[in-house]
Amino acid sequence: MNTHDLPEGIEVDIRHKDGVARQSFTEYGRSIHFAHGTKYWISITNKRKEHAAFDLYIDGRKANLTTTLLYHGRHPGPDGDIKSRPRIIKGFELTRDSVELAGDKFATVGTIELFIANRPGSDASAATDNRIGTIKFDFFATRYARRQPGRTQQLAAPNNAPNPMQHNARTGVLSTGSGSVEPKRGEHRQGEKSGHRPVADHAKPLDPPSHEITIREVAEKYPLLPAAPSAAPLPPAELRYDTDGGLYTRAEFIEEYDGAAEWNAAVRTRPIGV
């Protein structure tokens, strides 16, 4: 099975504080390069005309408590491309409490363990575990289910994550884990089909159904992909915090909410507890 390509219209970037991670193609396929101890996050965007969904595994550990939805872009831009706000994944979901509200809204609160790439302390006497150092996505189509205002969910991750210390990792890879826990909260609104909500259809994987990225420690022996040509620098756009704790531009707010009311109400400093 080809795990190097992505389904058409799905884009994945691995980012850290200095921007998009350096990439190359090694004997492990698509690879990103980090120094030991690098905190990172995953940006995944759906530019298809339909919703999609994905499960995420890192080192064989499931990162999302339930299959995550990728909403399609709402509006084509001047160049004809579908504009879509990326889904940002910053850590392993540990807990999530959610409630389905009236008006096609969801509110969630939970905790995550941040993604930090570390050198694994492997046991050379153990069998090699190819899951260590691997970010794996499984992609699915979606279907619609009837909304249930007032429905609640309380979820917690099982304590069965593979321990990289008990395995033999491949040469040069980094495992992921931090033990650093942060709160996460948000409110989401999807109103394109009132009374119904999109859910993952696990019977309908996308093509290709999976994509894998290997996290490798920084090394000079692999040629890195060339950087995009730089244009004249633009003045930085103003950013404001949304309810998911992320910073977004005014244009991104308008794309998400079909208006500027949420932008006008948003704050420029990080809200307490977000």
Within a domain: 230? no
Same domain for 248 and 171: no
Same domain? For 263 and 177 the reply is no
Give the CB-side neighbour count of residue 64, counting CA atoms within 13 A: 17
20 in any annotated domain: yes
Q: Are 241 and 247 in contact (CB under 8 A)?
A: yes
Look up residue 9 and give its amino acid: G
What per-residue confidence (pLDDT) applies to 255?
66
pTM of the model: 0.75
Q: Tell me: do 60 and 120 sit in the same domain.
A: yes
Domains of the chain: total: 2
Nearest to 195 by CA among 144, 246, 147, 129: 147
* Alpha helical stretches, state H, the chain: 250-257, 261-265
The 8-class DSSP code of residue 30 comes to E
What's the rounded Cα separation, in Å, for the pair 120 and 128?
12
* Domain assignment of residue 191, given as a range: 10-221
Q: What is the CA radius of gyration of the chain?
A: 19
pLDDT at 111: 94
The answer as to whether 104 is a domain residue is yes
Place of tokens 């650093």: 180
Query: Does 134 share its domain with 205?
Result: yes
Question: Is residue 122 located within the same domain as residue 249?
Answer: no
Same domain, 138 and 23: yes
- The verdict on residue 226 lying in a domain is no
Residue appearing with tokens 């079909």: 258
How many CB atoms within 10 Å of residue 82? 16
Residues 166 and 55 in one domain: yes
What does the pLDDT look like over 135-183, one tens digit per residue?
A: 999 999 999 988 777 778 888 988 655 555 556 889 899 999 888 899 9
Q: Is 165 helix (H, G, I), strand (E, B) or coil?
A: helix
Residue 4 lies in a domain: no
Residues 248, 17, 155, 165, Cα dihedral to 10°: 170
DSSP state of 65: S
Instruction: Check whether residue 51 and residue 153 sit in a common domain.
Output: yes
Query: CA nearest 28: which of 223, 212, 219, 217?
Result: 212
What is d(CA 206, CA 35) in angstroms, rounded to the nearest whole number? Answer: 33
pLDDT in tens, the chain (274 residues): 445 689 999 999 999 998 999 999 988 999 999 999 999 999 999 999 899 999 999 999 999 999 999 988 765 555 656 567 889 999 999 999 988 777 667 788 999 999 999 998 767 677 888 999 999 999 999 999 887 777 788 889 886 555 555 568 898 999 998 888 999 887 665 555 567 888 999 999 999 999 999 999 986 444 445 444 444 455 667 888 887 777 778 777 776 776 777 888 887 765 545 4
- Rounded Cα gap, residues 272 and 268, in angstroms: 12
C-alpha pair distances (Å), 182 with each of 8, 108, 112, 122: 33, 14, 5, 27
